[in-house]
Amino acid sequence: MNSFSFTENPIFNVLKEAHTLLPGLERVIAIYYCHETDEIKARYTLDSFGQENKIEDLTFDDPNDIIGKLRKSNSYFNWCKKEETPFDVQQTKSQVQMNVFQELENTILTLGFLNEHDKKYDLLFFYFNQSLSNFGVSDSDKVLNQENKKIIGFLLYNSIKTIIESSIKDLARLNSYNENTKSLIKRYSQSREELDRSKNNYGLSLVDLCKSYVKECSESSSRFNYILTEDALNKIKAYQGDITALKIVIQKSINYVNNLYFDTNETDIYISEDYLNFESIGAGTATKPQEVQLYDRYSKTIILLDKLENAARDVVAKNMDITSANVGNACSTPITAPAISDALKKHRNKIIHLLNKYTDRWKLIRTEFRPVRNVLSPRPDLMDKTA
């Protein structure tokens, strides 16, 4: 028999394949309960003599509720006469109702299979000829006797029962597979939503961190108030690299705009995404860039030098001498000359290391600010001892 499709009821599948299972049947009628629509359905199919069999809806009168009684009966199979059934088949072509039991010679086998949904029996009615020609026996004059009918009923019932049970198991497996698939899809969607939320929250945290860092740099500057633009914030939000490396990027962008707007009278300096060069430090890689490691160790010293450099630029802009007093007063939070000397002494070896390593940075204080120039005076016993 051909493989079954998953339809409203396994009985419907049997009806589709009935003439393949038993060639020569005149017709087969199925009465079954459909739990999806909560109704009793009646369908039939006629022998199409080798062509594809069509399944039609069946109309019938059943004043004595024969079908209801049969659906409650626990008789697995039963042979009955035509006058014991209520069926009238509506022929769609002629639009004339034909009693399906006109031919007195036909014998009807009724099979019942328990429906698990309404706990009643779905029914199949097979219309045989009285002769053995249904089974390919050459001597068609021999009729079906009582013993033949018992054997046929028993074999056909068990064959169809096996087919129905197999269909039910296949449907259960399909439903289980579908439920597992839906569950996996749901969990995947939930995981993806959680991941998106986590990424978004992480991105917002990076934005807050950078805003805080830029604010610190603004407070350390005697001239500028640094502001991250919207596109810069979006770029930071999507950043996937090391957080310390991100600080390096921000500091570099600030150093860049300090040089770019050295002669401006503006106080608000906007840092756009074009000034954020993540690629320069290998952002997004698992290995920590060397410059990030450097920043971890020298961050306080770098901030000190940036603070003095910015203050010195402000002093120059005002046509004043670059003295410790003037530079200290130009800082966002004024500091005294002795405090500058103490800070430089404390960071002496790291300052020497940074100024030697980054010759293009802090150009003003390294050449014009005497306290820093004194730090650079040759002291072999101190050079890089703690760098």
Q: Measured between alpha carbons, how far is residue 317 from residues 253, 266, 321 in Å? A: 21, 13, 10
CA-CA distance, 332 to 334, in Å (whole number)?
6
Residue given tokens 């800082």 in the structure block: 331
Q: Do 343 and 202 share a structural domain?
A: yes
Q: Do 135 and 208 share a structural domain?
A: no
Which of 99, 129, 144 is the last residue before a domain boundary?
144
Average of per-residue pLDDT values in the chain: 78
- For residue 294, is it within any domain? yes
CB 91 within 8 A of CB 44: no
Output 87 or 179, whichever has higher pLDDT: 179
CA-CA distance, 106 to 90, in Å (whole number)?
19
- For residue 153, is it within any domain? no
Grouping H, G, I as helix, E, B as strand and the rest as coil, residue 98 is strand
DSSP symbols for 74-125: --SEEEE-GGG--BEEE-TTT--EEETT--TT-EEEEEEEE-TTTSSEEEEE
> Mean pLDDT, to the nearest integer, of 114-137?
78
Q: Do 99 and 29 share a structural domain?
A: yes
Output 31 or 97, whichever has higher pLDDT: 31
| Domain CATH number, residue 96 | 3.30.450
CB 210 within 8 A of CB 236: yes
- For residue 386, is it within any domain? no
CB 117 within 8 A of CB 37: no
Which of 123, 144, 165 is the last residue before a domain boundary?
144
Retrieve residue 103's tokens. 């031919």
Q: Do 204 and 140 share a structural domain?
A: no
Packing angle between helix 243-260 and helix 290-317, nearest 10 degrees? 30
Give the 3-state secondary structure percentages of the chain, helix then strand then coil, rounded to 5. 50, 15, 35
Q: How many structural domains does the chain have?
A: 2
Q: Do 233 and 139 share a structural domain?
A: no
CB 129 within 8 A of CB 105: yes
Grouping H, G, I as helix, E, B as strand and the rest as coil, residue 366 is helix
- For residue 380, is it within any domain? no
Q: Residue 345: what are its φ and ψ, rounded to 5°?
A: -65, -40
Q: Do 318 and 206 share a structural domain?
A: yes
pLDDT (0 to 100) of residue 233: 92
Q: Do 201 and 131 share a structural domain?
A: no
Give 240-251 pLDDT, tens digit per residue.
Answer: 877 778 888 888
Q: Do 226 and 350 share a structural domain?
A: yes
CB neighbourhood size of 339 (10 A): 13
> Mean pLDDT, to the nearest integer, of 181-186?
88
Q: Do 326 and 247 share a structural domain?
A: yes
Domain housing 246: 197-375
Retrieve residue 312's tokens. 């010195």
DSSP H/E element including 125: strand 121-128
CB 2 within 8 A of CB 165: no
pLDDT (0 to 100) of residue 243: 78
Output 48 or 310, whichever has higher pLDDT: 310
- For residue 245, is it within any domain? yes
Residue 148 CB burial class (10 angstroms; 0-12, 13-18, ≥19): middle
- For residue 192, is it within any domain? no
Q: Do 132 and 25 share a structural domain?
A: yes
Give 1-27 pLDDT, tens digit per residue.
Answer: 344 444 567 888 788 777 777 777 888
Q: How confident is the model at residue 290 (pLDDT cuts 50, 70, 90)?
A: low
pTM to 2 decimals?
0.45
Residue given tokens 């350390």 in the structure block: 220
Looking only at the bridges linking them, the beta strands covering 88-90 and 97-99 are antiparallel
- For residue 181, is it within any domain? no
- For residue 179, is it within any domain? no
Percent of the chain with pLDDT over 90: 12
Q: Do 341 and 204 share a structural domain?
A: yes
Q: Do 223 and 119 share a structural domain?
A: no
- Decide if pLDDT at 78 tops 70: yes
